[in-house]
C-alpha cells in the first residue's frame, strides 16, 4: 500500500517538472526557428530541443520523454512552423528517441554516445522524409553533412546532458 | 565517455567519409542543364548556358522565381513560409539541387551525358 502511495506521489510530483521541460523544449524550438542557421537542406535543425528530451530520458524514462517530445512537436508545429516542418520534427523526434532509448538500455554507451546516435538518426529520419516529400533521391547527397552535424550537436548536447542530469536529479529527488 | 562511445563516433564518421567520397566523385561533373520538378514530376528543363528568369508554379499556389545567370541557377524569390530555398547557394554542378519543400519544387542540375540520354529516350 505504501509502495502504491509512493508511486502515485512520484507520478504527481513528476507532472510539474515534465511541464517545465516541455516549456523549455518549446522555447528552444522557437530559438531554433529564429537562428539564421542553415545546413543547405530544408527543414534541418540543430536539434537543441534534444537536451530536454535527453534529460527526461535519463531522469524519468522513455515514456515521459516520448510524451514531452510529442507534445513539444505538436505545439511548436502549430505555433511557429508549417505542416512539413511538423512532419520532419515528428519523424526526427520519434526516430532519435527510439534509438536513444534502445542504446541507453544496452548500458554500453555513456550519455554522450546516446546523444550522438540520437542526433544522427534525428537528421537521417528528416532527410528520409524529405526524399519522400519531394520525391528526389538526390537529397541523400547531403547525408554526409547531416551525419557530421549530427555528431557535433550530439556531442555538445551529450556533454551538456552529462553536466545537467545529476544537477536536475538533485533538485527533483529531495 | 566510454570506449563504445568512441567506437560509435568513429564508425559514424567513417560512414560519412565514404558517403562524401562517393558524393564528390559523382559531383565532379559540370552541369549542363537544370530540370524543374513540381510534386515529383519534371515540368521543364533549361540549359545553364542561357540566361533565364522564370516563375514556377508549385503546389498550394506556391510560386518560386528561378534565375539562371553565368551558368548558375539560383532561387531568388519564393512565397513559401520558410524561404529556405531562397537561402540556398547557386547551383551549377551535376546532381546539385535546390529544394523548396512547402511548394514541392525541386531544381536539379544534370550533366551533359544525361541530357543526350534523355533526348534518346524521348
Ligand atoms: Zn521555399
Query: Taking CB atoms and an 8 Å limit, are A134 and B5 in contact across chains?
Result: no
Per-residue DSSP letters for B9-43?
A: HHHHHHHHHHHHHHHHHHHTSBP-EEEEEETTEEE
**B55 Cα–ligand 1 center, Å:** 13
Q: pLDDT at position A140, please?
A: 67
Residue A108 with chain B: CB contacts under 8 Å: 2, 4
How many angstroms does the Cα of residue B97 sit away from the middle of ligand 1? 13
Chain B: residue nearest A158 by CA? B1
pLDDT > 70: percent of chain B:
87
Per-residue pLDDT tens over the stretch B18-69: 877 876 666 557 889 999 999 889 999 999 999 999 999 999 899 999 999 9
Q: Given an 8 Å threshold on Cβ–Cβ distance, is B16 in contact with A144?
A: yes
Residue B51 has a pLDDT of 93
Task: Supply the pTM of this predicted model.
Answer: 0.68
Ligand 1 center–CA B83 separation, angstroms: 5
The ipTM is 0.73
Q: Of 1.10.150.120, 1.20.1250.10, 3.40.50.720, 1.10.1760.20, which CATH number belongs to A3-172?
A: 1.10.1760.20
Q: Among all chains, which residue has been given the C-alpha cell 559540370?
A: B30
Angle (CA) B37-B41-B42 rounded to 5° is: 50
Task: Write down the pLDDT at residue B35.
Answer: 95
Instruction: Kindly tell me the number of DSSP H helices and DSSP E strands found in chain B.
Output: 3, 7
Tell me: the pLDDT tens digits for A117-171? 999 998 888 888 877 776 666 666 677 778 888 898 899 999 999 999 999 888 8
Mean pLDDT value of segment A60-67: 91
pLDDT (0 to 100) of residue B115 = 45
Residues B110 and B92: their CA atoms lie apart, in Å, by 9
CB contact under 8 A, B1 and A110: yes
pLDDT of residue A8: 52
Confidence band for B122, pLDDT divided at 50, 70 and 90 = very low
What pLDDT, on the 0 to 100 scale, is given for residue A141?
Answer: 66
Q: What is the pLDDT of residue A58?
A: 93
The residue-averaged pLDDT of A50-70 equals 91
Q: Which residue has the higher pLDDT, A100 or A92?
A: A100
pLDDT, one tens digit per residue, over A1-51 is 445 545 555 556 778 888 888 898 888 888 877 765 555 555 566 677 889
Contacts of A139 in chain B (CB under 8 A): 97, 99
- The yes-or-no verdict on residue A61 having pLDDT over 80 is yes
Q: CB-CB: which of A84, A112, A136 is closest to B102?
A: A84
What pLDDT shows up at residue A31? Answer: 83
First to last CA, chain A: 22
CA of B62 to the centre of ligand 1 (A): 9
Q: What local confidence, expressed as pLDDT, does residue B55 receive? A: 95
Interface test with B, best of A81, A119, A136, A149 (most B CBs within 10 A): A136
Q: What is the mean pLDDT of chain B?
A: 85
Residues 41-70 of chain A with CB under 8 A from chain B are 41-43
What are B80-91's pLDDT values in tens digits?
888 888 988 899
Chain A residues with CB inside 8 Å of B88's CB? 40
Helices A143-172 & A111-134 angle (0-180, nearest 10): 130
For ligand 1, the distance from its centroid to the CA atom of residue B14, given in whole angstroms, is: 32
Are B31 and B114 within 8 A, CB to CB? no
The C-alpha cell at B117 is 540520354
Q: Are A139 and A41 contacting, i.e. CB atoms less than 8 angstroms apart?
A: yes
Amino acid at each position: 500500500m505504501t509502495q502504491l502511495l509512493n508511486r502515485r506521489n512520484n507520478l504527481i510530483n513528476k507532472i510539474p517538472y515534465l511541464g517545465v521541460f516541455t516549456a523549455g523544449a518549446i522555447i528552444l524550438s522557437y530559438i531554433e526557428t529564429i537562428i539564421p542557421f542553415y545546413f543547405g537542406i530544408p527543414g534541418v535543425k540543430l536539434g537543441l530541443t534534444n537536451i530536454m528530451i535527453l534529460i527526461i530520458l535519463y531522469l524519468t524514462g522513455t515514456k515521459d520523454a516520448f510524451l514531452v517530445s510529442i507534445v513539444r512537436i505538436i505545439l511548436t508545429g502549430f505555433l511557429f512552423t508549417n505542416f512539413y516542418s511538423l512532419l520532419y520534427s515528428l519523424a526526427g523526434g520519434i526516430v532519435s528517441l527510439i534509438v536513444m532509448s534502445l542504446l541507453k538500455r544496452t548500458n554500453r554507451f555513456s550519455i554522450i554516445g546516446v546523444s550522438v546516435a540520437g542526433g544522427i538518426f534525428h537528421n537521417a529520419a528528416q532527410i528520409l522524409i524529405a526524399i519522400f516529400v519531394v520525391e528526389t533521391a538526390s537529397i541523400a547527397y547531403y547525408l554526409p553533412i547531416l551525419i557530421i552535424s549530427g555528431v557535433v550537436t550530439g556531442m555538445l548536447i551529450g556533454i551538456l546532458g552529462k553536466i545537467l542530469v545529476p544537477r536536475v536529479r538533485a533538485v527533483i529527488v529531495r | 565517455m566510454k570506449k563504445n562511445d568512441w567506437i560509435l563516433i568513429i564508425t559514424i564518421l567513417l560512414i560519412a567519409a565514404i558517403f562524401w567520397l562517393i558524393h564528390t566523385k559523382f559531383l565532379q561533373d559540370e552541369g549542363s542543364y537544370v530540370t524543374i520538378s513540381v510534386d515529383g514530376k519534371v515540368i521543364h528543363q533549361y540549359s545553364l548556358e542561357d540566361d533565364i528568369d522564370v516563375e514556377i508554379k508549385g503546389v498550394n499556389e506556391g510560386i518560386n522565381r528561378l534565375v539562371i545567370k553565368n551558368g548558375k541557377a539560383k532561387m531568388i524569390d519564393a512565397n513559401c513560409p520558410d524561404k529556405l530555398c531562397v537561402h540556398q547557394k547557386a547551383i551549377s554542378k551535376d546532381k546539385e539541387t535546390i529544394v523548396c519543400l512547402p511548394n514541392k519544387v525541386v531544381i536539379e542540375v544534370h550533366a551533359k551525358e544525361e541530357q543526350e540520354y534523355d533526348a534518346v529516350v524521348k
